Chain A
């Protein structure tokens, strides 16, 4: 394995001089740093006047680190360990369990009740499922072969209790495989085919499902200044959307919010399964006081886990709150690497990284024949609530669903504060039934008309408006207050089933027709 010693230290970035005759560091290699065995990853390699140099980003505080301390390569890229340990728990940005002490179980030693699904002589396809474990009340963990390995089973274990490291099956010519599977976080998992996006992801939020819907496997961005309810909306979606599993990535956000999710979700019941909400939730937390390099990695850790469960045949929704903090982590590390900045100090590769991130969403036929999806919903925190800043602009290029949060609506306590003029969704025609599309069109027309009339009313007051216009204002007000606004704290209002939304739309539509407004 490659070995080196520290030459320079600047915040989360260290420079390492490789030692001769010890093997080579490689890009994305996970390394161990110094006496304290800090975790790090190789981000660049170069040969200069002073010899070879490896640049490493460190996932922990570098305070107290000294030059000449040793750095050891692990020979492995930064990876997650896929095992039945993720659901219902909280992890840091590079996938280390944060609530481990509390649960008192070290995954490596715990034995799981494994059911084998194959027998000797069976042929298992690439990435095929061969065993399962009940992970939580809502999720069954399925042990798979790695994505490119297939073959005939030479030997298979009996149903029983096993640790995640114990081998369960042996494949001819490919070796033996246990419950767990290590997978690099920066490589997207291969699939057999990408399927068209035609299933809606029902969130129970009326303004989203009926006006700006998102498909399973789709991508949405939610930008908004502070206090417009990004995190609140993400929490609502996490609670109520009809995905099988949620991966919630708290990326550079507040510690108290993660504490809240943990407390609240443990008490909430998922209406679809009757299990605790936590039984279908994975939390990745890089709170804003945690090291910045781990924030950069947290997004990939979350995606790699999501892809793991997607290939077991689950519909996974990934909530990233917030992608702006991730972009800022890129900027900070880029600055420490002395890279040439593009706009506002962000690195020039910001756009390509964002694109690669959102590209990992989709509705897939997996290599093992199961179907699953990854929906990505990213919160964006535009600086100064200015939607023309680099992260928002570049995000808009790659998402097909845009929920613009509006400070003015938030000030008037109109929640969710999704502005109907600035938001859009490309999934409307693919996922909504025709009658809903028609009703949706009418409602949006009334709201647009209302905006125009209110401009005039600002100058002349509503009293002097013609009867027809007053009618429109009245109907629009009903639409806003009964349909668009939704109270997250009211148990009856927090979630509206889609069938009921359709009825409400019909009712509103006939109200519009009765008024003869359009």
Chain B
């Protein structure tokens, strides 16, 4: 969408304030809200207008800017990015510029990165399962095509390994890294290369050393690319966003620089809307092939699931996969805590012809049995195994086997839906 007024050609010099990523200009006529500006050769966006005063958020840092010689030019455009199927196999930085040596993307297709609101009437309710190969997910919290299912992880847990295994199995992947370290970036690049998945993937990488403001646009670039591949070219696209925690931290940093009134723990009051505006960009659309499935990854600060980042994500996504430190210590991979994990779309995505005729029933029985394990273990530590009822002892054994046989996968082991259900039924038979 072009903004109707023609772009203004002249440069503004009357900068009043430069603070963090924010630049405040005075005497500006006719700037548009959300308009993109170039400022000393860098890119920024108009985030507030009061009369002739304009606040600009500069994406790639304000280092070496001076009050006297900061030149701002308004482009008359909202933020857009070039799109083409040629993106597959390419790597871009967090602002959408090529990081590989293949030069600019040859295309005339440019789209606005904020996306448009999807009318719920135009959505198709997602009903087709995605086989990830991991029993804890496929069996107990099935991922459905068009779903947004985050991974709640924490520092030191193998979420990157899990994400990489999920990514290389997908048809088309859009991978957005926000605030990741260089070794994480390399880890993912190698994972894609080893599995010959590079040609099926688009990578957007914002490193921990890149400016925080850039982090705010990285996921939007990735989602715009994913929507293009899904709804224009019919791909079933898996979008992996990691680490949402870094994204939210950047948001807080900028909010506090703007002097906004904070909500919980200093995060801005609009954090929910902000996260939802990303997560809602998943789904299937009537009359268009393809789908966008999202797996956002976040690291819970202090392993706290009630932390605003995890909490507001859980409220806007369709379930969550929670990773558990205890299981990780026992060398269970993936260390999925089955009880707090949930897929809201699972019920309509499983069953005869989709996964397995007895999937729902088996999963429910496994849940009910595994829910008793924690109590049995607590009892075990107090009264010892001999004094426990036979029923409790069976529950203990079940818990052990559930973790080592169903949740755990050996390196490279992939189970089909049918195999997962078989394992589950075998465990239930022991009760």
Name the residue of chain B whose CB is nearest to the CB of A6.
Answer: B49
Judge whether A181 is part of the interface by a CB distance below 8 angstroms.
Answer: no
- Residues of A whose CB lies within 8 Å of any CB of B are 7-11, 15, 35, 50, 61-68, 90, 98-99, 102, 225-227, 250, 252, 254-256, 258-260, 262-263, 285, 287-292, 325, 328-329, 331-332, 335, 338, 341, 344-345, 381, 383-386, 407, 411-413, 458-464, 489
Name the residue of chain A whose CB is nearest to the CB of B45.
Answer: A63
Name the residue of chain A whose CB is nearest to the CB of B275.
Answer: A288
- The answer to whether B270 and A332 have CB atoms under 8 Å apart is yes
- The answer to whether B272 and A252 have CB atoms under 8 Å apart is yes
- The answer to whether B78 and A63 have CB atoms under 8 Å apart is yes
Name the residue of chain A whose CB is nearest to the CB of B374.
Answer: A411
Minimal beta-carbon separation of B313 from chain A (angstroms): 9
Judge whether B16 is part of the interface by a CB distance below 8 angstroms.
Answer: no
Minimal beta-carbon separation of A209 from chain B (angstroms): 24
From B263, B272, B283, B307, give the contact of A255 (CB < 8 A). Answer: B283
Contacts of B110 in A (CB 8 A): none
From A259, A341, A462, give the contact of B120 (CB < 8 A). Answer: A259
User: Which residues in window 307-351 of B have CB below 8 A to A?
Assistant: 307-308, 311-312, 314-316, 318-320, 339-340, 342, 344-345, 347-348
Judge whether B404 is part of the interface by a CB distance below 8 angstroms.
Answer: no
Judge whether B209 is part of the interface by a CB distance below 8 angstroms.
Answer: no
Pick the most buried of A35, A227, A338: most chain B CB atoms within 10 A of its CB. A227
Q: With A7-B51, A335-B270, A383-B308 in contact, is A63–B33 under 8 Å at CB?
A: yes
Give Cα distance in the complex from A62 to B320, angstroms: 32
- The answer to whether B117 and A459 have CB atoms under 8 Å apart is no
Contacts of B126 in A (CB 8 A): 256
User: Which residues in window 248-282 of B have CB below 8 A to A?
Assistant: 260-264, 268-270, 272-273, 276-277, 279-281
- Choose, from B194-202, B234-242, B383-391, B420-428, the stretch at the interface: B383-391
- Residues of B whose CB lies within 8 Å of any CB of A are 1, 3-5, 29-35, 48-52, 78, 114-115, 117-121, 123-126, 146-147, 260-264, 268-270, 272-273, 276-277, 279-281, 283, 306-308, 311-312, 314-316, 318-320, 339-340, 342, 344-345, 347-348, 360, 364, 367-368, 371, 375, 378-379, 382-383, 387-389, 392
Contacts of A461 in B (CB 8 A): 379, 382-383, 387-389, 392
Contacts of B3 in A (CB 8 A): 64, 66
Name the residue of chain B whose CB is nearest to the CB of A295.
Answer: B273
Inter-chain residue pair count (beta carbon < 8 A): 194
- The answer to whether A335 and B269 have CB atoms under 8 Å apart is yes
Q: With A341-B261, A345-B269 in contact, is A256–B387 under 8 Å at CB?
A: no
- The answer to whether B146 and A256 have CB atoms under 8 Å apart is yes
Contacts of A226 in B (CB 8 A): 311, 314-315, 320
Contacts of B339 in A (CB 8 A): 411-412
- The answer to whether B125 and A259 have CB atoms under 8 Å apart is yes
Contacts of A64 in B (CB 8 A): 1, 3, 32-35, 78
Contacts of A252 in B (CB 8 A): 272-273, 276
Pick the most buried of A7, A345, A460: most chain B CB atoms within 10 A of its CB. A345
- The answer to whether B315 and A260 have CB atoms under 8 Å apart is no
Contacts of B121 in A (CB 8 A): 90, 98-99, 102, 259, 262
Minimal beta-carbon separation of A390 from chain B (angstroms): 10
Minimal beta-carbon separation of A467 from chain B (angstroms): 15
Give Cα distance in the complex from A460 to B318, angstroms: 40
- The answer to whether B270 and A288 have CB atoms under 8 Å apart is no
Name the residue of chain B whose CB is nearest to the CB of A463.
Answer: B389
Q: With A7-B50, A289-B117 in contact, is A67–B270 under 8 Å at CB?
A: no
Pick the most buried of A8, A263, A489: most chain B CB atoms within 10 A of its CB. A8
Contacts of A263 in B (CB 8 A): 125
Minimal beta-carbon separation of A15 from chain B (angstroms): 7
A–B Cβ pairs within 8 angstroms, 9 of them = A7-B51, A9-B48, A254-B318, A255-B118, A332-B273, A335-B260, A338-B261, A458-B378, A461-B387
Name the residue of chain A whose CB is nearest to the CB of B255.
Answer: A335
Give Cα distance in the complex from A381 to B124, angstroms: 26
- List 11 other contacts, CB 8 Å, given A64-B3, A407-B340, A412-B339: A64-B78, A67-B51, A98-B120, A225-B311, A252-B272, A288-B273, A345-B264, A383-B264, A386-B306, A411-B339, A461-B383
- The answer to whether A412 and B269 have CB atoms under 8 Å apart is no
- The answer to whether A289 and B378 have CB atoms under 8 Å apart is no
Q: With A65-B32, A258-B120 in contact, is A413–B371 under 8 Å at CB?
A: yes
Minimal beta-carbon separation of B376 from chain A (angstroms): 10
From B4, B33, B117, give the contact of A290 (CB < 8 A). Answer: B117
Give Cα distance in the complex from A258 to B375, angstroms: 38
Q: With A66-B30, A381-B315 in contact, is A288–B51 under 8 Å at CB?
A: no
Closest 5 interchain pairs by CB? A384-B306, A288-B276, A226-B314, A258-B120, A289-B280
Q: With A256-B318, A413-B364 in contact, is A66–B5 under 8 Å at CB?
A: yes
- The answer to whether B280 and A345 have CB atoms under 8 Å apart is no
Minimal beta-carbon separation of B96 from chain A (angstroms): 18
From B49, B124, B263, give the contact of A345 (CB < 8 A). Answer: B263
Minimal beta-carbon separation of A288 from chain B (angstroms): 3
From B5, B342, B382, B388, give the contact of A459 (CB < 8 A). Answer: B382
From A289, A292, A338, A412, give the contact of B371 (CB < 8 A). Answer: A412
Q: With A64-B1, A260-B125, A335-B269 in contact, is A458–B375 under 8 Å at CB?
A: yes
Contacts of B318 in A (CB 8 A): 254, 256
From B30, B117, B124, B312, give the contact of A67 (CB < 8 A). Answer: B30
- The answer to whether A256 and B264 have CB atoms under 8 Å apart is no
Contacts of A460 in B (CB 8 A): 382-383
Contacts of A254 in B (CB 8 A): 280, 316, 318
Contacts of A10 in B (CB 8 A): 48-50
Contacts of A344 in B (CB 8 A): 263-264
Give Cα distance in the complex from A332 to B276, angstroms: 14
Give Cα distance in the complex from A62 to B46, angstroms: 12
Give Cα distance in the complex from A374 to B153, angstroms: 44
Contacts of B364 in A (CB 8 A): 413
Minimal beta-carbon separation of A380 from chain B (angstroms): 11
Give Cα distance in the complex from A241 to B262, angstroms: 40
Minimal beta-carbon separation of A349 from chain B (angstroms): 15
Contacts of A384 in B (CB 8 A): 306-308, 311
Contacts of B315 in A (CB 8 A): 226, 381
- The answer to whether B276 and A289 have CB atoms under 8 Å apart is yes
Q: With A256-B146, A259-B125, A381-B315 in contact, is A98–B119 under 8 Å at CB?
A: yes
Minimal beta-carbon separation of A305 from chain B (angstroms): 18
Pick the most buried of A65, A102, A411: most chain B CB atoms within 10 A of its CB. A411
Q: With A256-B126, A344-B263 in contact, is A292–B340 under 8 Å at CB?
A: no
Contacts of B50 in A (CB 8 A): 7-8, 10, 15
- The answer to whether A411 and B125 have CB atoms under 8 Å apart is no
Name the residue of chain B whose CB is nearest to the CB of A412.
Answer: B371
- The answer to whether A289 and B277 have CB atoms under 8 Å apart is yes
Give Cα distance in the complex from A271 to B318, angstroms: 30
Give Cα distance in the complex from A413 to B52, angstroms: 58
Q: With A63-B34, A345-B269, A412-B367 in contact, is A9–B308 under 8 Å at CB?
A: no
